[in-house]
Structure 1
Amino acid sequence: MATDHAPSPAAPVEASARLLLPQILPALLVGVGASLLFLGISTLAEEFQHVLWNDLPDALGIGNYSSLWMIIMLTATGVAVGLVIWKVPGHAGPDPASEGLGGAPLAPGVVPGLLVASTLSLAGGVSLGPENPIIAANIALAFWLGSKVAPVVPGAAWVALASAGTIGALFGTPVAAALVLSEALTAQPGRGSLWDRLFAPLVAAGAGATTTQLLAEPSFDVGLPPLTDPGYGDLLAALVIASAAAVFGLGSCYLFPHVHAAFRRLRHPMLMLPLGGLLLGLLGALGGHLTLFKGLAETKDLAAGVGGWSSGELAKFAVVKLLALVVAASCGFRGGRIFPAVFIGAAFGLFVQALVPEVHPAVAVSSAVLGVLLATTRQGWISLFTGAVLASSPAMLALLCLASLPAWLIVTGRPQLELDHQGKALR
């Protein structure tokens, strides 16, 4: 008789399909919208950057990347962002030092100020990327619009769709979003299949990535020579470089709370941001124009000159960019930390390769980026994914999987590049 009450094997599949199919349309809309906002802000920032760093200095007869112009521009950017944070409603969101990727939805009135502050930072040469503000803005808008259009849908669903769609748009592939979200979703037992929970976010991520690919054709391939036949020497190099880069990246995490506390003592954004901008300008004058901006295009410039940079130059790039990231994140500029960390890792890897030319450039750069990202983000999957796509070499993936293990042992339990609301480092 027990078999009379046994459920049909097809029933759970049909129930799942009925639940998942209605999620496709909102996920597509959120993903496309997330990509369009990201592309719009990125395009606007690039156009403004061209005006500030090309048209304006040319009109004034000043060198585009002269030390004087870098100091003037970064200080002026600090003043402009400080005014936005001081005067614009919402104050461009909470202190970014205590905010990671995603988080609770902001009020929609905060979004304009956050996007303006982020655009100014990107265009002005601040060493921060677009990811944190864009994700926060898309979450706020999706949550607000979603609660109006479909109030019965849980708010967490709109947050997941916006996060996934934006990450897919940022990296040009839904794989990155799947990896990031899997870390969060697997920590929620008893809520059904992981792939059921990933279904709608993956649709959003795919829509965001496809929109970005169709409109902008982004690429993380930095043009490194491919690694075709890895050997034991490559494995040893990957293990050592990833671990050393993780230690180097941890330096920023230990500095962060102290630098942040020093800026907080100034109390007012019109003191913190201009001073931060001045320090960034001085660091830019020391490190050169490659140490400005979010860092992805500059990473490609670094990789294009493999063999042409001295070890001293590369060490200077890595140290200056690391300090610039700490200053920018501490004084209140709105922006993300992943893209600058990629530049830091690439410079560190090429520094090692300049010291030991026998190390393959793809091994050096990918392993170092992995180590720095593990230290600064504690996002294991995104660190592994980014290191692998930079090399554009499938052979690197196995090496990076192994290299991530000692690097993770070094960083786990250590201070993070994120603070709590009391200004103490998270661990």
Structure 2
Amino acid sequence: MLLPLVVPALVVGVACSLLFLGVSELAEKLQHVLWTDLPDALGVGGYSSLWMIVMLTATGILVGLVVWKAPGHAGPDPATVGLASAPLPPFLLPGLLVATALMLAGGPSLGPENPIIAANIALVFWLGAKARPAVPPALWVPLAEAATLGALFGTPVAAALVISEALAGRKIRGSLWDALFAPLTAAATGAMTTALVAHPTFDLGLPSVPRPDGGDLLASLVIASAAAVLGMAAVYAFPHTHAAFGRLKHPMLMLPAGGLVLGLLGALGGHLTLFKGLDEVAELARDPDGWSAGQFALMTVVKLAALLVAASCGFRGGRIFPAVFVGSAFGLLAHALVPGVHPAVGVAAGVLGILLAITRQGWISLFTAAVLVSSPTIIALLCIASLPAWLLVTGRPQMQLRDDGTSVR
């Protein structure tokens, strides 16, 4: 039963990774043109306040045109879609991928995860049904989701954790590892393809945590819980900001208005608060003492507001990567306020709390927080810190809306 799934899983893993890498490469080249070549040619600062406002507004206009004119309007309202969803019709995908590439290049605070997963699920579901009609159609969705998660994070562990969480409470045939066999194969293949082509790393290079003590435990508990509360503030504001942009009723009004607000936020918080946030997090981590507590606080608030606006006005993108920046800046804020807080403990606990609030997925929050600091000793601290943070977020509204604009619980 399992052996016939190996080849499809391998093919899906490679294909999903290549689509992700292709969109990312296109976005990076376009970003270089928009933020380096073009301002240099015009003789203006690439990250001047004026250029940030102009570029974010222009990005809103371009994405608005795609959403308005593309077949199927580049997919459903992203505020109503989670990390994985039902397969989309293939005719939606060109508009969705173009809107995603423009968003990644233009600077809004969203990541590639949601639209790339949606595109890969749609393509794998459609092509798989044609190429291998004997394979149950329902199998293609977890294969594509796992492969894309493996490609995004550069490791199959995140995919295994997410799929395991999705399988909780379901009746499965055989053992859990039987159910995970094909998705894990696809995830490992996607991760290896990404590693061979792009050499990604999530390790921020922060100083390793020595043997943890009571101070580290207290810091992780306080920071994770405070970050969860901060994240929940954005979650509770989400329906209201979405409704505010929704009153404009047209993508050529909603997205340019959102782009203008994002440009103003970028001018306030600085260029590190732009884009999906992973490169910017690495820059913060290279010098944890290079900014004051006030600067870290400003970046935390501005980035969270930018994430809220970008997710509300219609930009196609995911919320995990910008939330990582918010959590990292919040953790470094704690280190700046209390130097005794180890920067790796602050970053990991901050990311954990924010992701629990934004994603409501415990395993992926723990995994992401742990892998950022690459310190085995911190895992026990994070597991303990996740308990009060989870109590603060569970059962409450999620950062996802129903079609009527009310929050999913």
What band does the TM-score fall into relative to the shorter chain? over 0.9
Structure 1 residue corresponding to 2:206, chosen from 199, 205, 224: 224
**Which stretches in structure 1 are left out of the alignment for 5+ residues?**
1-18
Q: Is structure 2 residue 301 aligned with structure 1 residue 329? A: no
- Residues 197-240 of structure 1, C-alpha deviations (whole Å, 9 max, x = no match): 10000000000000000001100011111002111111111111
Distance 2:224 2:38 in 1: 41
Distance 1:40 1:412 in 2: 37
Residue identity over aligned pairs, in percent, reads: 71
The corresponding residue for 2:226 is: 244
The corresponding residue for 1:43 is: 25
- Residues 79-114 of structure 1, C-alpha deviations (whole Å, 9 max, x = no match): 000000000112110000000011100001101100
Per the TM alignment, residue 154 of structure 1 is displaced from its structure 2 partner at its CA by 2.0
Distance 2:274 2:74 in 1: 22
- Residues 234-283 of structure 1, C-alpha deviations (whole Å, 9 max, x = no match): 11111111001100111110110000001111110000000000000000
Amino acid of the structure 2 residue aligned with 1:357? P
The corresponding residue for 1:295 is: 277
- The answer (yes or no) to whether the contact 1:186–1:194 under 8 Å persists in 2 is no
The corresponding residue for 2:174 is: 192
Distance 2:321 2:102 in 1: 17
Alignment of 1:22-61 (within 5 A): 22-61=4-43
How many residue pairs end up in the alignment?
Answer: 409
Structure 2 residue corresponding to 1:83, chosen from 49, 57, 65: 65
Q: Is structure 2 residue 77 aligned with structure 1 residue 101? A: no
Q: Is structure 2 residue 353 aligned with structure 1 residue 347? A: no
Distance 2:329 2:172 in 1: 44
- Residues 306-359 of structure 1, C-alpha deviations (whole Å, 9 max, x = no match): 111100000000000000001000000000000000000000000111000001
Match of 1:229, SS? coil
**Which stretches in structure 2 are left out of the alignment for 5+ residues?**
none
- The answer (yes or no) to whether the contact 1:90–1:110 under 8 Å persists in 2 is yes
- The answer (yes or no) to whether the contact 1:353–1:360 under 8 Å persists in 2 is yes
Match of 2:74, SS? coil
More displaced stretch, 151-160 vs 316-325: 151-160
Match of 1:90, SS? helix
Distance 1:155 1:41 in 2: 26
Q: Under a length normalisation based on structure 2, what TM-score does the superposition of the two structures give?
A: 0.99
Distance 1:259 1:190 in 2: 40
Structure 2 residue corresponding to 1:312, chosen from 274, 286, 294: 294
The corresponding residue for 1:397 is: 379
The corresponding residue for 2:115 is: 133
- The answer (yes or no) to whether the contact 1:322–1:344 under 8 Å persists in 2 is yes
Distance 1:180 1:155 in 2: 20
Amino acid of the structure 1 residue aligned with 2:370? A
Q: Under a length normalisation based on structure 1, what TM-score does the superposition of the two structures give?
A: 0.95
Match of 1:419, SS? coil
Distance 1:40 1:342 in 2: 23
Distance 2:309 2:397 in 1: 17
The corresponding residue for 1:5 is: none
Distance 1:79 1:195 in 2: 47
- The answer (yes or no) to whether the contact 2:172–2:179 under 8 Å persists in 1 is no
- Residues 164-204 of structure 1, C-alpha deviations (whole Å, 9 max, x = no match): 00000000000000000001112212532111110000000
Q: RMSD of the alignment, in Å?
A: 0.7
- Residues 66-87 of structure 1, C-alpha deviations (whole Å, 9 max, x = no match): 0000000000000000000000
Alignment of 1:274-289 (within 5 A): 274-289=256-271
Match of 1:416, SS? coil
The corresponding residue for 1:67 is: 49
